[in-house]
Amino acid sequence: MKYGVNEQGYYGDFGGAYIPEMLYPNVEELRQQYLNIINDADFKAEFNQLLKDYVGRPSPLYHAKRYSEKYGCNIFLKREDLNHTGSHKINNAIGQILLAERLGKKRIIAETGAGQHGVATATVCALKGIECVVYMGEIDIQRQAPNVARMKMLGATVVPATSGSKTLKDATNEAMRDWIANPVDTHYIIGSVVGPYPYPEMVAQFQSIISQETKKQLLAHTGKELPEYVMACVGGGSNAMGMFYHFLDDEGVKLIAVEAAGKGVDSGHSAATTALGKEGVLHGSRTILMQTEDGQVVEPYSISAGLDYPGIGPQHAHLHKINRAKYVSITDEESLQAGLLLSQTEGIIPAIESAHALAYLEKMQFQKDDNVVICLSGRGDKDLDTYIKYFGY
Ligand SMILES: *Cc1c(COP(=O)(O)O)cnc(C)c1O
């Protein structure tokens, strides 16, 4: 696949595994084993069964009629918000717990931003009866209290990350430290298409179920497998990579990735990585990240905890550099307005992350026959407090 990973773990100039010597055995074990394991018939059977009976897949592809009328095209929402635990993250969590089991691991660690990946991980650990430790930034713990309670109820230990901006990137650092200290019995479930190779590839493959289903569903709806546009929001980039995956080689399909501009790209409070970032190494891979002149990571900001990350996955960095996908950004305010519009036009309250992708519709021009697929990555329940504060309900 032209846009895929090469044998060294690179997507063009990006990717690889930039890790401390002490992590090498863990990552190398994964690299050597993951393809054999996930291509094994027994693994596939269990993965597909759980996606069907536990997650509720296939998630519907919903033709949003009133919404389509407003924008003058045919808009289809890929309903990852209807998954068990409320977002796309469960797809990856199930894939990785089945992998960890087959690697003989007895303990799971994870990092989380919005808490969605932490909840997904705590959920699959409960399902499998495996010990679970989740690292979470102290600020995220405050703004995502219901998800913290959920993780605890599911039996996970939630450890606050208190350094730096006390958000996702700091939680990621803490999780890496834990893994270095516990190399033999622990598997680290990374929640997005980031980290050292093979994580970005592995997570993209687990999430690729999104576009695999979409092609079939779109064919049933429209008589065509290929839409004009495919859109998704990007934090680290896993829902977007899953949504793009099976469309990458269909060059006629325009891919649009929406980042969080926060209070504005140039406001100093933003997470618009491709607009502001430069090439460098973050959390184990060469990618694009927001950094100062001397290479310090810039603290990102977004109203949505899931997009509040200073980098993007290496495959996104590649798709951006070679212009296969278009990277744009949307402010806090624009995303909240888009969340309100979807709620009142279709009766669906989206996660604020997903609302970023929806908001970009305002900036596009369509032909009336255009088919547009948008990944509705998650539901808005976790964000109600933020919506309430903004709209004053
Ligand atoms: C975590 C999250 C995101 C961002 O993560 P990606 O890896 O970029 O997909 C987007 N939407 C929701 C609902 C999330 O929970």
- How far is CA 198 from its chain centroid? 16
Examine the domain organization and report whether 187 and 327 are in the same domain.
no
Tell me the average pLDDT across 46-65. 98
CATH number, position 169 = 3.40.50.1100
Residue 334 lies in a domain: yes
Position 70 confidence tier, pLDDT thresholds 50, 70, 90: very high
> pLDDT tens, 114-125?
788 999 999 999
- Closest ligand 1 atom, residue 234 Cα: 8
Among the candidates 162, 195, 228, a domain finishes at: 195
Position 219 confidence tier, pLDDT thresholds 50, 70, 90: very high
Residue 8 lies in a domain: no
- The one-letter code for the residue type at 51 is L
Ligand 1 pocket test: which of 143, 167, 239, 354 has the largest number of ligand atoms within 8 Å of its C-beta? 239
Instruction: Decide which of 373 and 173 is more confident.
Output: 373
Examine the domain organization and report whether 172 and 228 are in the same domain.
no
% residues pLDDT > 70 (the chain):
100
Examine the domain organization and report whether 184 and 252 are in the same domain.
no
Res 214 pLDDT > 90: yes
Pocket of ligand 1 (CB under 6 A): 87, 89, 114, 116-117, 192, 233-240, 306-307, 351, 353-354, 377-378
Residue 2 lies in a domain: no
Ligand 1 center to 259 CA (angstroms): 11
Examine the domain organization and report whether 145 and 101 are in the same domain.
yes
- How far is CA 209 from its chain centroid? 13
Q: Is the peptide bond before 300 cis (omega within 30 degrees of 0)?
A: no
Residue 162 lies in a domain: yes
Is residue 295 within 8 Å of 309, Cβ to Cβ?
A: no
Residue 172 lies in a domain: yes
Is residue 112 within 8 Å of 118, Cβ to Cβ?
A: yes
Give the pLDDT score at 50.
Answer: 98
When the pLDDT of each residue in the chain is averaged and rounded to a whole number, the result is 96
Examine the domain organization and report whether 191 and 233 are in the same domain.
no
Residue 50 main-chain phi, psi, to 5 deg: -65, -40
Burial 256-265 (b: 16+ CB within 10 A, else e): bbbbbbbeeb
> pLDDT tens, 5-25?
999 999 999 999 999 998 999
Give the pLDDT score at 156.
Answer: 98
Tell me the average pLDDT across 240-245. 98
Give the pLDDT score at 158.
Answer: 97
% residues pLDDT > 90 (the chain):
90
Ligand 1 center to 355 CA (angstroms): 11
Examine the domain organization and report whether 107 and 80 are in the same domain.
no
Examine the domain organization and report whether 28 and 171 are in the same domain.
yes
Task: Return the residue whose CA atom lies nearest to atom 2 of ligand 1.
Answer: 306
Res 1 pLDDT > 80: no
> pLDDT tens, 283-341?
899 999 999 999 899 989 999 988 988 999 999 999 999 999 999 999 999 999 999 99
Ligand 1 center to 21 CA (angstroms): 30
Least confident of 51-65, 177-191, 365-379: 177-191
- The one-letter code for the residue type at 53 is D
Among the candidates 137, 169, 195, a domain finishes at: 195
Task: Return the residue whose CA atom lies nearest to atom 3 of ligand 1.
Answer: 306
How many structural domains are present in the chain?
2
Q: Whole-model pTM above 0.75?
A: yes
- The one-letter code for the residue type at 142 is Q
What is the chain's length? 393
Instruction: Domain of residue 186: give its range.
Output: 18-50+89-195
Burial 343-380 (b: 16+ CB within 10 A, else e): eeebebbbbbbbbbbbbbbeebebeeebbbbbbbbbbb
Give the pLDDT score at 164.
Answer: 86
Among the candidates 177, 195, 213, a domain finishes at: 195
Output DSSP code: residue 185.
T
Give the pLDDT score at 63.
Answer: 98
